[in-house]
Amino acid sequence: MAAPEFLDVDGTPIAFRRIAGGSPGVVWLGGYRSDMLGTKAETLAAWAGRTGRSFLRHDYSGHGESGGAFVDGTISTWLGESLAVFRRFTDGPQVLVGSSMGAWIALRMAQELRRAGEGGRVAGMVLLAPAPDFTSELMEPSLTKRQKRDLQEKGYFEEKSEYSPEPNIYTRALIEDGRRNRVMTGPIDTHCPVHILQGLADPDVPHTHALKLVSLLPADDMTLSLIPEGDHRLSRPRDLELLVRAVEGVIAQAEAAGS
């Protein structure tokens, strides 16, 4: 595999990989502690290569091949890096594909781009096991006394990870910044088609969270696929096939709307 390229964002080297191709392009946004070489991102890269579609992916600071310390990251930090890479290395409309926390980043990117007069850059979204507002909606209500004490005294707490030998680390800065980036506080008008893929056996993000998100999105531009026995990763062969079909479907909707 070719080495990544790097973009300096506020002094931190952000690693990215890109494939040139047609528009609308596809931009991958990974999850918390994941990287751009995961199964889903690699599947989309192979698909883009076969179909001649442009594809861009990057690692947030503290993730994968990027610089920076993971514990220094916040939603605002990773959002800023994602916007910098997006603006520098894409042209025209793009479909944002966000996994877990990446879905939160995608929704915030759409808000920030629209606020800057660039709303037309987002042609559609595919959100997998979406976890917008996970710090306030999913974490804070279930914090234990020990975790609250660690946040107060140490500024972070650790939790065993099902996906890595290293524990997950959640900082007070991440949680406080998460409150400032909430998107599920009222109707979310994305101005583009959205397709959500949610596993019914997801132990990390319950399907009720996806249903709440659906209730905040415009019904006429919203597709929800609930996947029996689907877990949080959604990386089984059948899940990957559904991901590719969802991306192709959103691209078709975007092209039809633009014709």
pLDDT at 10: 96
For 79-101, give one letter per residue: b (16+ CB within 10 A) or e.
bbbbbbbbeebbeebbbbbbbbb
Q: Burial of 157 by CB count in 10 Å (0-12 exposed, 13-18 middle, 19+ buried)?
A: buried
Percent of residues in the chain assigned helix, strand, coil, to nearest 5: 45, 25, 35
DSSP 54-96: EEEEE--TTSTT--S-GGG--HHHHHHHHHHHHHHH--S-EEE
pLDDT at 259: 57
How distant is the alpha carbon of residue 244 from its chain centre?
16
pLDDT at 257: 85
Do residues 109 and 192 touch, judged by C-beta distance below 8 A?
Answer: no
Q: Quick one: which of 178, 171, 155 has its CA closest to 75? A: 178
Do residues 121 and 94 touch, judged by C-beta distance below 8 A?
Answer: yes
* Helix-helix angle 75-89:172-180, to 10 degrees: 60
Q: What are phi and psi of 170, to 5 degrees?
A: -120, 120
Q: Quick one: which of 39, 107, 99 has its CA closest to 232? A: 99
In order of their start, the domains of the chain are: 5-132+192-258 (3.40.50.1820)
Do residues 17 and 2 touch, judged by C-beta distance below 8 A?
Answer: yes
Confidence band of 17 (pLDDT split at 50, 70, 90): very high
Average pLDDT of 212-228? 95
Tokens of 258: 């633009």
pLDDT at 168: 86
pLDDT in tens, 21-68: 999 999 999 999 999 999 999 999 999 999 999 999 999 999 999 999
Q: What percent of the chain has pLDDT over 90?
A: 93
Q: Is the pLDDT of residue 1 over 80?
A: no
> CB-side exposure of 7: number of CA atoms within 13 Å?
19
pLDDT at 110: 97
pLDDT in tens, 63-115: 999 999 999 999 999 999 999 999 999 999 999 999 999 999 999 999 999 99
N- to C-terminal Cα separation, the chain: 37
pLDDT at 166: 82
pLDDT in tens, 181-202: 999 999 999 999 999 999 999 9
pLDDT at 220: 87
pLDDT at 161: 80
pLDDT in tens, 125-169: 999 999 999 999 999 999 999 999 999 999 999 988 877 788 889
Place of tokens 């990763």: 233
Place of tokens 């506080």: 185
Model pTM? 0.96
Q: What are phi and psi of 248, to 5 degrees?
A: -65, -40
- Cα separation, 175 vs 74, whole angstroms: 8
Q: Is the pLDDT of residue 207 over 90?
A: yes
Mean residue pLDDT across the chain: 96
Name residues whose C-beta falls within 8 Å of residue 79's C-beta, 6 or more positions apart in sequence. Answer: 105, 108, 109, 112, 181
